[in-house]
Amino acid sequence: MVSLKVNGAVHEIEVEDETPLLWVIRDEIGLTGTKFGCGIAQCGACTVHINGEAQRSCVIPVGSLQDAEITTIEGLSTSGLTHVQQAWIDHQVPQCGYCQSGMIMAISALLAENGDPTDEELAAAITNICRCGTYPRIRAAVRALASRED
């Protein structure tokens, strides 16, 4: 039995400690916004926040997360779209959209630490892969977020 706190709710789940977090999120908890891409932590489609840090859920065993705060794309906001999600819409970032939940999670974690990253910092911090190649739109959306006034 594993106890996980996902999006603020505690889930008691009967799985092996070695089960990857991705499969628990999708198959046991039923949150399908986090996607399977490569299974080896390279593409980033499975990115979630663990204690506020963007991490690839496909390779993290649930047994190592007993006291962790896990946030998925579904839990990123309880009050509508986040600023990052709205910027994605405003700049028409996604094409196919498959990688976008992971990309939004990675960008959200980066912007929480660095509200105005340079293009170089963005490229170094965000290693998620987008097969559609929407990187120029992603950079434009992040630039818009960095320059907005709240």
pLDDT (tens digit per residue) in 51-88: 999 999 999 999 999 999 999 999 999 899 999 999 99
Q: How confident is the model at residue 149 (pLDDT cuts 50, 70, 90)?
A: low
* Claim to verify: residue 69 and residue 12 sit in the same structural domain: yes
Closest CA to 132 of 100, 90, 85, 89: 100
Distance (Å) of CA 57 to CA 2, 27, 31, 120, 136:
16, 13, 13, 25, 26
Is 0.85 topped by the overall pTM?
yes
pLDDT of the residue at 148: 67
Number of structural domains found in the chain: 2
pLDDT of the residue at 78: 87
At residue 146, does pLDDT exceed 90? Answer: no
Give the separation between CA 89 and CA 76, rounded to whole angstroms: 16
CATH number at residue 115: 1.10.150.120
* Claim to verify: residue 45 and residue 103 sit in the same structural domain: no
At residue 150, does pLDDT exceed 80? Answer: no
User: Tokens at residue 138, please?
Assistant: 């992603």
pLDDT of the residue at 147: 73
- Mapping DSSP to helix (H, G, I), strand (E, B) and coil, where does residue 66 land? coil
Could you say which of 75, 108, 124 is where a domain stops?
A: 75
* Claim to verify: residue 103 and residue 51 sit in the same structural domain: no
Could you say which of 54, 75, 96 is where a domain stops?
A: 75
**Domain residues for 137?**
83-147
At residue 98, does pLDDT exceed 80? Answer: yes
